[in-house]
Amino acid sequence: MTFNEIKEAVFIGFFLAFMIGPVFFMLIQTSIIKGARAAIMFDFGVILGDIVFILIAYFGSKSLLEEIKDDPRLFYIGGLILLIYGIITYLDKSQKTTIQDETLVLPEKTDYLKLFLKGFFLNFINIGVLAFWLGMIVVVGSNLEMNPQKIFNYFSVILLSYLITDIGKITLAKQLKKHLTPKVTYKVKRAMGILLMIFGIVLILKGFIPKEKLNFKNVIENNK
């Protein structure tokens, strides 16, 4: 992997770790109530859900992407997926309900297997996560020439960055909770939606504008 690819993958992992939603709140709450070990086990389940989605997105689109990997319209497809996901994230009315309901029910006694499974299924039932990873596979796969080893390395760095950031969140859970007011969390979720829409629009533009006139990597780096 090049240094720029590593930077991009680390940034994506960090970005994902701060996507506000049920997984985010459950991770913080688990850390506070059950402790860091329980929260990490829950997070492993979440990451397993991501891995399953990545595999589904990769093998489900591999044949098609290998045939059209040099077609600039791939960026249009990937950008459209991210744009739609961003719009849904921004407009989703259920966000307010989720944010206002600050009481999260956890098992009375620590059962690490149940926490692991809870993390997996809480992430797996969110179809938006699959849409996100599909968009990433479309874009990243094209940039990496659908090379399996390069794709594996890239997404491994994303997940590692995600895990490390989550461990930081677990460690600072009590401090984070003090600042996670309904108003703040709602604004953060909407900001994440806007960022996804911006990235989606940039990718769509790359599908229509010649490569020499629009460098996606430079755009991403300038937005960091």
For the segment 6-24, what is each residue's pLDDT rounded down to a tens digit?
998 999 999 888 876 778 8
Work out the pLDDT band at 36, boundaries 50, 70, 90. confident
Mean pLDDT, the chain, rounded, equals 76
Between 91 and 103, name the one with better pLDDT.
91
Domain boundaries, the chain: 3-103+113-222
Question: Which is nearest to 20 in space by CA: 189, 187, 179, 175?
Answer: 189
Residue type for 77, please?
I
pLDDT score of 159: 95
pLDDT tens digits, 107-144: 456 688 999 999 999 888 877 788 888 888 877 877 78
Tens of pLDDT along 44-65? Answer: 999 999 999 999 888 887 776 6
Q: Which of 63-72, 103-112, 209-218 has the lowest mean pLDDT?
A: 209-218
Instruction: Give the residue-averaged pLDDT of 97-106.
Output: 42
Q: Which of 129, 132, 110 is nearest to 121 (CA)?
A: 129
Q: What is the pTM of this model?
A: 0.69
Cα separation, 35 vs 46, in Å, equals 17
User: Measured between alpha carbons, how far apart are the two ends of the chain, in Å?
Assistant: 20
pLDDT reported for residue 163 = 94
pLDDT of residue 74: 64
Q: Predicted confidence band at 195 (pLDDT cuts at 50, 70, 90)?
A: confident
Dihedral of CA 54/38/165/104: which sign? positive
- 127 CB neighbour count, 10 Å cutoff: 9
Has residue 37 got a pLDDT over 50? Answer: yes
pLDDT score of 130: 82
**C-alpha neighbours within 13 Å on the C-beta side of residue 48:** 14
What is residue 101's predicted lDDT score, i.e. its pLDDT?
Answer: 40
Contact by Cβ (8 Å): 40, 170 = yes
Q: In the structure, what pLDDT confidence band is assigned to residue 97 with cuts at 50, 70 and 90?
A: very low
- Classify residue 69 by burial, with Cβ atoms within 10 Å: 0-12, 13-18, 19+: middle
Q: Count of CB atoms within 10 A of residue 158's CB?
A: 24
Per-residue model confidence (pLDDT) at position 46: 94
